[in-house]
Structure 1
Amino acid sequence: MRDKVEQALAKVRPALQADGGDVELVNITEDGVVQVRLQGACKGCPMSQMTLKNGIERIVLKEVPEVQSVEAV
């Protein structure tokens, strides 16, 4: 599952990098929660939660159905 999640994150990474940010996969829990760390400009951005839920989580859930949610750590 980790490879599938990494591939999904690779799809959103260019958009994040265009704004000076990035995302790093930290962990996938046994119950399907993907834990990521926002980096660069995304780290302190007030819109980071919206980016996380409407961007990153939406793509990951679409690409990897066994994932339950995505959260920042």
Structure 2
Amino acid sequence: MMPFSDEDLQSPVSSIIKTKIAPMLARDGGAIQLLEIRDARVFVQLQGSCVGCSASGSTLKYIVEKELKAAIHPDLEIVNVPIGMEDKLEEF
């Protein structure tokens, strides 16, 4: 059970993505954008060289998810939203 509301999660998730994850991805030409948080599901979009990269699944699981779960709460779920699907989050 998540002890935080989606609104409570917004600031810490955004901060970790901006200060820790985004700079790491940028070194390889990648980028990440926080789209929304719904029911402790963090919807992000990998961008730049991360799009179509065979390692993007590992990046999401072992960098993004690991960092957010360790820093905030182990029950967070991270969802990568493909480009063009930003308005269809309910499908994920």
Percent identity, aligned pairs only, is: 33
TM, length-normalised to structure 1: 0.90
Q: Which has the higher strand share?
A: 1
Q: 1:67 to 1:4 in 2, by over 3 A?
A: farther
Counterpart for residue 17 of structure 1: 26
Q: Where does the alignment leave 5 or more consecutive residues of structure 2 unmatched?
A: 1-8, 82-92
Q: Which has the larger radius of gyration?
A: 2
Deviation beyond 3 Å, 4+ runs, structure 1:
none
1:54 equivalent to 2:46? Answer no
Counterpart for residue 42 of structure 1: 50
Task: Give me the whole-angstrom Cα distance separating, in 2, the residues matched to 1:66 and 1:54.
Answer: 13
Counterpart for residue 27 of structure 1: 36
The SS at the match of 1:65 is coil
* Aligned residues of 1:52 and 1:72 also touching (Cα < 8 A): yes
Instruction: Render the CA deviation track for 1:15-68: whole Å, top value 9, x for unaligned.
Output: 100000010001101x20100000000111111000000000100111221752
RMSD, aligned α-carbons: 1.3
Q: Which has the higher helix share?
A: 1
Q: How many residues align?
A: 72
